[in-house]
Structure 1
Amino acid sequence: MAATLLRRCLTAPVAMLAALAVLLLAAPHAAHADPEGGTKTLRDALESAAKGHLEATAKLDASRKRQGELRDTLKQAQADATRMQAQVEVTAGRAYKYGRATTLTVLLDSGSPDSFLDRISRLDAMAQLDGRALADYRRAVDTTKAAQQAIAREIGEQEKQVGILARKKKEAELALGSVGGGSVAGGFVSVNSPLAKPAPRNSDGSWPKESCTVNDPTTSGCITPRLLNAYQQARSAGFTHYTSCYSVRDSGEHPKGRACDFSANATTFQNVAASGGDKQYGDRLAAYFVKNASRLGVMYVIWYRQIWLPNTGWRAYSASGGPAAVHTNHVHLSVL
């Protein structure tokens, strides 16, 4: 009897430890749940729409730049062709006038050796001059035609990208509408927002692909160089309230190092909707990111039940839950 009681006393702590171990192992998975609100499907749709819009915009801008350069080339080629037109007409008239006389006939008509040599020199110089004039004129005409054709191709490229922009905007609106949001909202915009230092782009204006390669100054995780630039620029602009970027979650940009949550409160995330000075701080910060979206590579901004995307502007964001889920206690920033 005593031995049995002893075994039970020893077994109870072991069982408790085993149960505690199960809870500890399960706890990290529970912590992975995304407190941002919305669904993975919604976030994936918004990311696709925003990225598609930004990529199409970069291609559209690059095409317009090329078109401008081609128009300069066309203008110069047309001016060259016009300038040489008179010289070509003189060459053509001379060819018509002396076309029937051979070079040998012209030389045989010379009355003296000196005249013969003089005619040889003049014929050679005339041939060289006429050859250069005709070659330059032909080159100008060919350049004009090539530039006109290239401009037509660029116009076609621009029409293609404009179509993509319209489609991506519709995709974003449908994604937000599917969860009960998406109506046009007042938004947070300020012409007084300071300008940020631009993040690096590729030579064609597109955004380089980046991964989580730099230390996150707000956590022990990592973020992308582009997000680090956005974070540093915001702090330089005076937005120094508590911020957290990298976190382990089941979805979203935080585990990819492409998102930060900027608390409206100076020291922590409060489980209440921001008001007073904290609300004004969040309004200014959201407006700052929107104004500098093209400089920082902003994919979207969420603040106070509204979401800003580059192809829709501010729209209602109908996530449900507490202040974190509806983004009334922090500004969410996602970058490409």
Structure 2
Amino acid sequence: MAAASSAGRLYPARASALVCAATLLLGAAPAHAEPKPSVKQLKKELTTLQKDSDQLITEYYNSRIAHQKAEKAEKTAKEKLAAAQEVYDHHSTQLRAMAVARYIGGDPGAMELLAGDQDPSTVLSRMALTQHLIDQQEAMLRGYAEVRDARGRAEDEAAARTEELEETLGDLESRKKKAEKQIEKIKDRIDLLYTAPGSRPDGTFVPQLPQGADNITPRMALVKKLIAERFDVPYGIGCYRAIQDGGEHPLGRACDFMLSRGGAFPSADEQRRGDQIAAWAIKNAKRLGIMYVIYRQRIWHVRTGAWRTMTDRGGTTANHYDHPHISVY
């Protein structure tokens, strides 16, 4: 015992190394996964999220009102500027015409009028006429200056209102994005309230029979319901088909979420909707029992977790460009 004790004291580094080696061979203890939130917890979170969402929506609404007022103010300012510009242009034209007339006709000064052998009454009369023209010119110049200043003020006001409008637009977009992000959080938490029927503890799924008027399984019915509520599919959802084509449609385990009508190529907005539906299905695949997704001539399978290109089947619908196809276990 003494020898063993002595060895333990003499070689502590060796003992430590043996412990480390054993740990590496046996593997570190697995970290505990985060427990799934309960329905009660989810509902509590939803209440908080909803309250925050209402506040964000209120702020977004107020921002919309401010933006509308700024739009109206900018429109009024631009109308005033247009009117001021019209008056300014008119005065500018008159002044230019007067300048040209004086240049062509000449402008005799007072000394020239007094020089020479002229009747005094004629001289006074011509001086009075000249003074009248000078007064008229000065009045026009004063009017021009007032019009020019008014135009400048209108221009400054219009510029200020445009800047204000741009600021309210930026604020509006910012608040809109915040509200949309909060709504997205709410949708994500609502999704977690639903559990795919027929799921086993090991993550596999019990086969199901089609049921109901639309002849689809309860699992497919849940996926269809969640997508219809979350994304709104205006061009229809096609599920059960009697044609035995080797797929899941005749088994009630597949649905097509249409993005256009009559085989037409979908718009850019509808393509984005298709991308969103496909992304949602992939995100929730393991929890809801989604087996694979087909969209835009590609297939994603839960086993591989990646997209791969499919062979060309010769058309917009056949290649799934106008709809995501979702199949469940």
Alignment TM class, shorter chain as reference: 0.3 to 0.5
Please report the TM-score for the alignment, with normalisation by the length of structure 1: 0.39
Higher helix share: 2
